[in-house]
Structures are given as structure tokens and as C-alpha cells.
Amino acid sequence: MHNTGYTNTCTVYNSKLSCFEELTESELKIIEENKVIVNYRKGENICKQGSFASHIIYLSEGLVKVYLEGNPKNLILKISPSGNLIGLPSIYEGNNVFLYSAATYTDSVVELIDINIFKQLIQENAKFAYRVISVLNEHAVQIYGRFYCLTNKQLHGRLADILLCLAQRIFYEMEFDLPLSRNDLAELTGMSTESVIRVMKDFKDDGLIETSGKAIKIINYEMMNRISEVG
């Protein structure tokens, strides 16, 4: 029997769905009138776990990490490229804080939408709400997969996952400039920075990837994929 998913999973959340398509002209106008556009530099925090969630965040440009604050280490839940919403999970009755933090990997542009407006739209437009549910659940699949990988795969598998993932879902290329440090990769894969470096070296030595500076090129896609699958 073939496996039923999750094993070969990735880290990048990139929804194909936009909730906003389901909004009417007048509803869109309400959002337009209640949003603020903010620019962030690389490395800045755009929301902080535990702080008051006054806005839903739409990432219109850039690349961010969404992570849980922890002691001593953080845990990155997902990488989010532009076009996605951040902070949806903070919407539930009895809660008014962010469940996670987010910080930029690159210079980014963000639209802040008043959370009460957003909640109101959900409670008035069921089609919109259904889209929000879709987005949340798509996201859940991702997190589950990631959860499985971090608790079951070992280092080589996890790092292969991330590299393939970045190539396929962020850069759409087998060759790209990595905006993440080795330490970022470590947080992302739940391994130590040193281990990231060592495993990268293994991949290089085995001719699976080439690196120079920030540039990474996946040469042997087949093999990387196998490593990702085997764990």
C-alpha cells in the first residue's frame, strides 16, 4: 500500500485561494477604508505572539516567517510568501491576541485590516466565511505535514524537504538566492545550525547541490526527492 500523504511535505504556505474574491463591492470598500499599508525592512517583526491582535495582516510583498516564540528556541510554523494572510488563527471567540509571531526575511509590504471589520465580514458574508475556512484548513494540512516531518524524519530528510520546498514553492526554480541564513534553516527544520551546515556539506559532497555564497542550485533533484521521502 502506498502512503497516504504527509510524508513528503513542505514548509511553505502559499494559498491559491483568495478570500476576498467572495466580497461584494461595498464590502471591499469597507476593507479599503479600514486598512493601513506598512513597509517593513528585512528582519523586522510584523506581529508578536501574545500581543493584542488588532489587525489581520495581508502580505502584499515580501517573504516572512511565522513562528512560535520559545525558550530557548523558536519554532517556525511556516514561511509565507506574498499574497497570503497572517493572523487568521487568532480569530476565535474568547481570544484577542496573536497566536504566533511573524518576521520578515526580506523587505516587505503589508496591509493591516482591522480585525473587527474582518470578523464582521465573516459574520455577514457566509461565502466569505467559507473561503476563510478553506484557507485555514489548507494551512492546517501544511502544519500537519510539517509536524509529522519534524517528529519523524531525520536531519537529511528534513533539510532536503526545505530546500526542495523553497525551490518549488517560493522561487519556482532549481537555482535561487537564499534569503535565509543557516540559522533560519535550523529553526525551520528543528535542527542545530551546525547540523544544517554539516548536512549541506554532505549534499554538496554527494553532488546533490551546489552552493556559493547565498546562491543554491539543486543539481540532482531525483536524489534530493528520494532523501526527502526516505527521511
Footprint on this chain of DNA (rule: CB under 7 A): 154-156, 181-183, 190-195, 197-198, 200-201, 211, 213-214
Q: Which residues pair with 85 in a beta bridge?
A: 58
147: contact with its own copies by CB under 8 A: yes
Judged by CB under 8 A, the residue of 24, 29, 50, 83 near its own copies is 50
Q: Which among 223, 177, 188, 222 has a CA at the least distance from the CA of 202?
A: 223
145/218 with CB nearer its own copies? 145
Is 102:67 a contact under the CB 8 Å cutoff? yes
Is 89:36 a contact under the CB 8 Å cutoff? no
Which one of DNA, its own copies, none interacts with residue 95, CB within 5 to 8 A by kind?
its own copies
| Smallest gap from residue 151 Cβ to DNA (A) | 10
7: contact with its own copies by CB under 8 A: yes
Separation CA 139–CA 8 (nearest Å): 16
115/188 with CB nearer DNA? 188
Which one of DNA, its own copies, none interacts with residue 132, CB within 5 to 8 A by kind?
its own copies
Q: Which stretch binds its own copies (CB under 8 A): 2-10, 33-41, 172-180, 211-219?
A: 2-10
Mode of pairing for the β-strands spanning 75-81 and 45-47: unpaired
Q: Rounded to the nearest 10 degrees, how much is the dihedral formed by the CA atoms of 53, 59, 60, 61? A: 130
Tell the burial category of 5 from Cβ atoms under 10 Å away from its Cβ (0-12, 13-18, 19+): exposed
| Smallest gap from residue 214 Cβ to DNA (A) | 6
125: contact with its own copies by CB under 8 A: yes
Residue with cell 553532488: 207
Separation CA 92–CA 209 (nearest Å): 44
Is 48:20 a contact under the CB 8 Å cutoff? no
Judged by CB under 8 A, the residue of 20, 119, 182, 221 near its own copies is 119
Judged by CB under 8 A, the residue of 122, 155, 174, 219 near its own copies is 122
37: contact with its own copies by CB under 8 A: no
Judged by CB under 8 A, the residue of 70, 181, 194, 206 near its own copies is 70
Separation CA 41–CA 62 (nearest Å): 10
| Smallest gap from residue 119 Cβ to its own copies (A) | 7
4/26 with CB nearer its own copies? 4
